[in-house]
Amino acid sequence: MSMNNQGRPTRPEHAEGSADTFTGNRALMLEERLIFEIGAIDRTGIDLDEMPDSASRLGGLERNRSIGLAGLSEPETVRHYTRLSRMNYAIDLGLFPLGSCTMKHNPRLNERIARLKGFADIHPLQPVDTVQGALQVIHELGEWLCRLTGMPAVAMSPKAGAHGELCGILAIRSALEARGDAREVILVPESAHGTNPATAAFAGYRVEDIPATPEGRVDLAALEARLGPDVAGVMITNPNTCGLFEPDMKRISDAVHAAGGLVYCDGANFNAIVGRVRPGDLGVDAMHINLHKTFSTPHGGGGPGSGPVVFSEALAPFAPLPFVEKRGDHYALIEEETAEDHHGSSFGRMVAFHGQMGMFTRALAYMMSHGADGLKQVAEDAVLNANYILRSLEDVLDAPFGKSGPCMHEALFSDKGFAEGFSTLDLAKALIDEGYHPMTMYFPLVVHGAMLIEPTETESKAVLDEFIGALRSVVERAKAGDESLHGAPFHAPRRRLDETGAARKPVLVWSEPEQVEAAE
């Protein structure tokens, strides 16, 4: 088969296994080429009036050649994106079992609220008096987050989980600097999410690992032994990436505080404990909450997200700007701090404006429609569903921490018992042929060939049973050494891709085939 510069087969013989169709389409599964390949410079879906001469107004800065973007007519445009969307998988198509990602149903009620004109059509530079309702939403959402976490303060502006981590670590650094105690090390347990060490390193800290116990929890003795005057703090993911609650959390916090450090908790997966556990009671000083996971706002494909951070009394004075404050009946947006007004010790600003309005409205609608009891049930059902998966599959799949008791919101398995030469990757690809997005693979690193499955609380028993049946069937093939597994997926829009090549030599820019040929 011939390949063009994108590694995509060229027409007409391009869809593997379907060289017999002229179009490359496979029945109603339609092929789609890049917009650059099907569009043309002189084609467009809109009619614009001739531009009046604007050269004089632009003072010589006007564009003098085409920017070379290919255009399509309106129906071609609609079809292009609709066809692409059909090559994708989505939570609205089926169960999306990615561990740690909380791919749950997003209630349509939230979408309706977010689309109300008073929220959707406002601008961050509008006068504060004209956006009182929006500020009230931000304020009330912050109050919910403080109440649910048992923490006194919250920063609403961070735009994702990892951004929230950075916010928390910068606050920790400011607090330590304010007391003239610049420490250099952040301890990160092996069972933490990968963004934790990345954040600490990005903020200029030296990262040191704390080992996990054979039960998949933080090794408290090893942590205590390492604490000292150079340790700024710890970053602990709880529930951790083995899907387990850290029962020693309070003892960990007490030990870190006694050694003069601060405690960061990664609360991205708060859906496992919301309404059941208040991190403030466990001695946490800062924790981000992924609204786009726990509080159901849609996510995937790079955004949008929202990662508010709650703070303890110790860190509250260092929280970032801007923030919303209620003054009588009025909501003020505090853009600058003065020592008289506030503490005057904010570490500064992480983003231009206040955060993600669309995520705030969705999250608040979700909380208000569930109520405190409903949110508690979210955690209970998320944990129940994960344990149902764990116990339904542990006769065919190795569950390395299955003996440690129930899991939290996700079930973890290893590749132990697969026939020689069969891997977690083979299994994940075969799952695509069964119509499922694969689970999280090869993470956490502490488990060989890890498979991390998070069903979330929004799936019914019938949906879980069907998934369990599909997974069981591919596991049995992997154990029996069914060679066809190595070729999967067979029925997806693309066959197995070169994942190493995609990561090491990504082709991110389209260039005209002639230029590529000339270069080769």
Ligand X SMILES: *Cc1c(COP(=O)(O)O)cnc(C)c1O
* Nearer CB in complex with ligand X: 296/392: 296
Tell me the residue nearest to ligand X as measured from the CB: 161
- CB–CB of 312/286 below 8 Å? yes
Residue 195 binds ligand X (CB under 6 A):
yes
* Nearer CB in complex with ligand X: 355/489: 355
CB of 188 to ligand X, least distance (A): 12
* Nearer CB in complex with ligand X: 233/307: 307
Helices (H), 203-306: 220-226, 249-258
CB of 22 to ligand X, least distance (A): 43
Residue 238 binds ligand X (CB under 6 A):
no
* Nearer CB in complex with ligand X: 259/378: 378
Task: Report how far residue 59's alpha carbon sits from residue 349's, in angstroms, rounded to the nearest whole number.
Answer: 35
Among 9, 24, 142, 161, binds ligand X (CB under 6 A): 161
Could you give phi then psi for residue 208, rounded to 5 degrees?
-125, 140
User: DSSP states of 291-309 as a string?
Assistant: TTTTT-----TT------E
- Would you give the DSSP letter of residue 170? H
Distance of CA 346 to the CA centre of its chain: 27
Positions in 493-512 near ligand X (CB under 6 A): none
CB of 46 to ligand X, least distance (A): 35
Q: CA-CA distances (angstroms) from residue 134 to 141, 264, 485?
A: 11, 29, 52
Contacting range for ligand X; rule: CB under 6 A; set: 20-28, 147-155, 262-270, 337-345: 262-270
Q: Is 269 exposed, middle or buried (0-12, 13-18, 19+ CB in 10 A)?
A: buried
- Would you give the DSSP letter of residue 337? -
Residue 237 binds ligand X (CB under 6 A):
yes
Could you tell me the two tokens for 179? 């007391």
- CB–CB of 170/309 below 8 Å? no
Could you give phi then psi for residue 481, rounded to 5 degrees?
75, 35
Q: CA-CA distances (angstroms) from residue 290 to 130, 341, 370?
A: 28, 30, 17
Residue 72 binds ligand X (CB under 6 A):
no
* Local structure of 31: helix, strand or coil: coil
Contacting range for ligand X; rule: CB under 6 A; set: 133-141, 178-186, 266-274, 363-371: 266-274
* Local structure of 491: helix, strand or coil: coil
Instruction: Give the CA radius of gyration of the chain.
Output: 26
Contacting range for ligand X; rule: CB under 6 A; set: 1-9, 81-89, 155-163, 256-264: 155-163
Among 155, 169, 268, 451, binds ligand X (CB under 6 A): 268
Q: Is 463 exposed, middle or buried (0-12, 13-18, 19+ CB in 10 A)?
A: middle
Positions in 271-300 near ligand X (CB under 6 A): 290
* Nearer CB in complex with ligand X: 15/386: 386
Beta strands in 312-389 (DSSP E): 323-327, 330-334
* Local structure of 111: helix, strand or coil: helix
Among 158, 307, 322, 489, binds ligand X (CB under 6 A): 307
CB of 412 to ligand X, least distance (A): 14
* Nearer CB in complex with ligand X: 24/444: 444
Residue 158 binds ligand X (CB under 6 A):
no
Q: Binding string, 451-480, against ligand X, x = CB under 6 A? A: ------------------------------
Residue 356 binds ligand X (CB under 6 A):
no
CB of 77 to ligand X, least distance (A): 30
Q: CA-CA distances (angstroms) from residue 443 to 238, 384, 417?
A: 16, 22, 18
* Nearer CB in complex with ligand X: 110/238: 238
Among 106, 110, 149, 269, binds ligand X (CB under 6 A): 269
Residue 398 binds ligand X (CB under 6 A):
no
Task: Report how far residue 219's alpha carbon sits from residue 5's, in angstroms, rounded to the nearest whole number.
Answer: 50
Residue 100 binds ligand X (CB under 6 A):
yes
State the amino acid at position 258 in one-letter form.
A
Total of chain residues touching ligand X, rule CB under 6 A: 13
Residue 160 binds ligand X (CB under 6 A):
yes
- CB–CB of 183/175 below 8 Å? no
CB of 193 to ligand X, least distance (A): 3
Which residues contribute to the site for ligand X (CB under 6 A)?
Answer: 100, 160-162, 193, 195, 237, 266, 268-269, 290, 305, 307
